[in-house]
């Protein structure tokens, strides 16, 4: 992977509005490159990006209590991967939501990928489905929980793309 990306420190954020056609409860895939330094503080989790509105949103972060693992939160549910992202290397991240009309099962409806491989999930809790328009996509966080590192080539799909297509994004 070649590129510099955007550099963030805790407390920095960048946001953009997404189309009103993009809904929180519809299938989606979001993919990006990420580099987090190994000196990442282990005292708190870090928000990488999120979309939605306060109290009704998705959030992708780095859970430091689990060694820098990828975490996806949505309202009252979460899912934690097993790969340490805070190793100073570039990693391709993809989160795929296949949609659901009723109770959200983290293991079957939300898929986490690191470097094109489906993550082994080390912790999860189901959550309620999220409904409504997305509003905006936010990178980082205004609080100190914003991630310190680099992010590049963010791609948002309004569908749950295939594993093969996610792997193609990694090889570009």
Q: Give tens-digit pLDDT for 153-168.
A: 999 998 999 999 999 9
Q: What is the pTM of this model?
A: 0.88
The C-alpha atoms of residue 156 and residue 122 are separated, in whole angstroms, by 26
Non-local CB neighbours of 2 within 8 Å, separated by 6+ positions:
none
The span from the CA of 113 to the CA of 133, in Å, is: 25
Would you say residue 42 has pLDDT above 70?
Answer: no
Name the least confident of 21-35, 137-151, 153-167: 137-151
- Which tokens is 127 given? 């959550």
């Amino acid at each position: 992977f070649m590129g510099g990306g955007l550099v963030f420190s805790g407390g920095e954020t960048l946001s953009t509005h997404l189309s009103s056609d993009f809904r929180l409860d519809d299938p989606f895939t979001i993919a990006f490159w990420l580099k987090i330094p190994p000196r990442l503080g282990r005292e708190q989790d870090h928000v990488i990006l999120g979309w939605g509105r306060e109290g009704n949103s998705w959030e992708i972060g780095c859970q430091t209590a689990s060694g820098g693992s990828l975490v996806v939160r949505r309202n009252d549910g979460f899912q934690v991967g097993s790969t340490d992202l805070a190793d100073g290397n570039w990693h391709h991240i993809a989160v795929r939501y296949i949609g659901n009309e009723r109770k959200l099962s983290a293991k079957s409806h939300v898929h986490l990928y690191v470097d094109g491989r489906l993550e082994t999930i080390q912790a999860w809790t189901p959550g309620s489905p999220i409904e409504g328009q997305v509003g905006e996509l936010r990178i980082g966080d205004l609080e100190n929980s914003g991630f310190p590192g680099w992010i590049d080539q963010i791609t948002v799909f309004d569908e749950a793309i295939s594993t093969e297509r996610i792997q193609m994004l990694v090889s570009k």
